[in-house]
Amino acid sequence: MKLLTFLAGVSAVAALNNGVARTPPMGWLSWERFRCNIDCKHDPSNCISENLYMRMADIIAAEGYKEAGYQYVCIDDCWLSKSRDSNGRLQPDPDRFPHGMKALADYVHSKGLKLGIYEDVGAETCARYPGSRGHYQTDAQTFAEWGIDLLKFDACNINPEDFDEGYRQMGFYLNQTGRPILYSCEWAIGEIMHRRQANYTAILEVCNTCRNTVDITDQWKSVLNKVNNYAKDSGNFSKIAGPGGWNDPDELVIGDFSLSPDQERTQMALWSMWAAPLIMSVDLRNMRPESKSLLQNKGVIAVNQDPLGIPGTVRLTMRKVSVWTRPILPKGSLAVVVFNSQSGGAPLNVSVPVHRLINGNALDYLITDTFTGSKLGKLTYHQDLTVRVNPTGVVMVTMTPA
């Protein structure tokens, strides 16, 4: 195959250091799977309520997810009452969260996990519940008093010229509380949706995670859209991320309804290569064994959580195949993903010269299948890495100096 494109590697930079998110956060979020289902009368098992989040916390703690690294149980939009209380403070819907947010946080903490919550930089949330504009200090203090550990801060119902002020103010007041609250921002995607260039450097000086693509849906074309966005790397956002501040392509839809097994492996592999948050959005009560095993895969998660914190990028492309590389520890090692974007046809045999993958000295490399941990052998600087890749699938290996 003819080599069409070659892109150099990147180096990590310092991002926000507020004591959290030194590696990409891992957890669960309700949005993609459960949306804004508030009909607890007719659908009590799936509505946005304290019972849903308690049950997900139970499963994360009991079924291996916590041991794999998933920590955050995150609430999204529609948890709120339609109005603030008489003191101007946010309050949860009393019917769906009858014991209040402090009690829910205590329950989640009792499982050894952390609780995330949702709000909006504007006057209203996307679903038209009370937003934080004009109440940033009060809301930050309220979240701290409730024991919240993560704030997802959306970008609806505000003038885009006010994004900077709103996101900076909430970040300031969160830090003023003295509680370590991971700050997950939708600032960049808000700018992009208004056809403005996001300033990733400025954003990751304020935020721990930076959403930079539109909402994901449970469809392969949506996942592929994220892959294409990260391949383009518009604004060089990959060069900005690092410990304390991570780019966020949105949730994992592994275990839902639409992706094939190969496509689920592709999402897990590339999100890990990008040093993206691994935030599941799936009904953990009804998991296929293979999807559950993939979400808990130790080798792939180790790449995602690599302490160097250098996001992976496209190293080269060969027609429908893209090859992604990410520097990892131990020093001189590399994670490699070969992705076949073809949606049909037979698997492809792909050969990639080792010297096109690495920077530095000519070394021998031990090759390990990242998914299985199997040792695949040793390659020299002058040999080829040869793999067979299914349509819409990946092969993922780690290369370690011999």
Q: Give me the mean pLDDT over the 111-133 stretch.
A: 98
Q: What is the mean pLDDT of residues 370-390?
A: 96
Mean pLDDT of 379-386: 95
Q: β-strand 384-389 against 375-379: which pairing, if any?
A: unpaired
Q: Does the structure show a pLDDT above 80 at 190?
A: yes
User: 312-401 architecture in CATH?
Assistant: Sandwich (2.60)
Of the listed ranges 2-6, 7-11, 175-179, 187-191, the least confidently predicted one is: 2-6
Q: What pTM was estimated for this model as a whole?
A: 0.95
Q: Do domains 26-304 and 312-401 have the same CATH topology?
A: no
Looking at residue 214, its amino acid is V
* Arithmetic mean of pLDDT, 218-247: 96
Tell me what pLDDT residue 363 has: 83
Percent of the chain past pLDDT 90, that is, above it, reads: 94
Residue spans of the domains in the chain: they are 26-304, 312-401
Rounded distance between C-alpha atoms, residue 84 and residue 144, angstroms: 17
Please tell me the predicted confidence (pLDDT) of residue 362: 65
- Ramachandran angles phi, psi of 233, nearest 5°: 55, 45
Question: 396 has which bridge partners?
Answer: 337
Which residue among 162, 215, 364, 384 is the active-site one? Answer: 215
20 by DSSP, 3-state: which?
coil
Domain 26-304 is in which class? alpha beta
Mean pLDDT estimate for the chain: 95
Average pLDDT over residues 252-264: 98
Q: 75 near 118, Cβ under 8 Å? A: yes
Pairing label, strands 321-328, 313-318: antiparallel
Between CA 179 and CA 185, with CA 181 as vertex, the angle to 5 degrees is: 150
Average pLDDT on 371-393 reads 97
User: Which of the following is catalytic: 154, 256, 283, 306?
Assistant: 154
Going by pLDDT thresholds of 50, 70 and 90, the confidence category of residue 14 is: low
Which one, of 298, 283, 267, lies nearest residue 394 by Cα? 267
**Is 93 tagged catalytic?**
no
| Cα(255)–Cα(239) distance, integer angstroms | 31
Instruction: Tell whether the model's pLDDT for residue 5 goes beyond 50.
Output: no
Q: Are 304 and 399 in contact (CB under 8 A)?
A: no
Q: Establish whether 164 is a catalytic residue.
A: no
| Confidence class for position 11, pLDDT limits 50, 70, 90 | very low
Q: Helix, strand or coil for residue 342?
A: coil
Quick one: pLDDT at residue 359? 82
